[in-house]
Amino acid sequence: MINAISFVAVILSLLLMKIERKNIEQRHSKVWQELKEGFRYAAGFAPIRDVLLIFALVNLVAMPYVVLMPVLQRMCCTADPVCLDTSWAACGLGALGEPYIGIPKSVRGLIKRIPIAVTLFGSALMVFSISRFMFYPWA
């Protein structure tokens, strides 16, 4: 209920916004042509191409841990819900590094930071994969 009430302020502020309508020219190009143009641009501009390839590789290889987390926790912690919650909290702590990626003002600055982030992510997953116990700092 509190969450629903919190949206009232957002909805009211959106309703109070005064936005001028702009006449936008209707383009009659085909979707496939625009997709082809986007792929051609991404393939031709090395920084964007490299970023897209790195993200595709990370999502293909590393991100399935999200799906496998409950299974792995059941194997290691005998289905203790606190154990799973602690693991999700650790994932959330890892997300605190995301502003480091978002700080650069250009794509070229991003290219220098992404390999560091990918290496840290991969290292954290390797440590997670070899752990056979759950550390409870409060226990």
Q: What is the mean pLDDT of the chain?
A: 78
85 is in which domain, residue-wise? Answer: 63-130
Domain annotation covers residue 118: yes
Indicate whether 109 belongs to any domain: yes
**80 is a domain residue:** yes
- The per-residue pLDDT for range 72-87, each reduced to its tens digit, is 777 766 556 777 777 7
Residue 51 lies in a domain: no
Residue 86, pLDDT score? 75
The answer to the question of residue 16 being in a domain is no
49 inside domain? no
Give the mean pLDDT of 10-30: 82
Q: Note the pLDDT tens digit of each residue in 43-53.
A: 998 888 888 88
> Which pLDDT tens digit goes with each residue over 89-112?
777 777 777 776 667 667 667 777
Grade residue 1 by pLDDT with cuts at 50, 70 and 90. Answer: confident
The DSSP line for the chain is: -HHHHHHHHHHHHHHH------PPPPP---HHHHHHHHHHHHHHSHHHHHHHHHHHHHHHHTTTHHHHHHHHHHHHHTT-HHHHHHHHHHHHHHGGGHHHHH--SSHHHHHHHHHHHHHHHHHHHHHHHH--S---TT-
- Is residue 21 one of the residues assigned to a domain? no
Residue 72 located in a structural domain: yes
Work out how many domains the chain is built from and give that number. Answer: 1
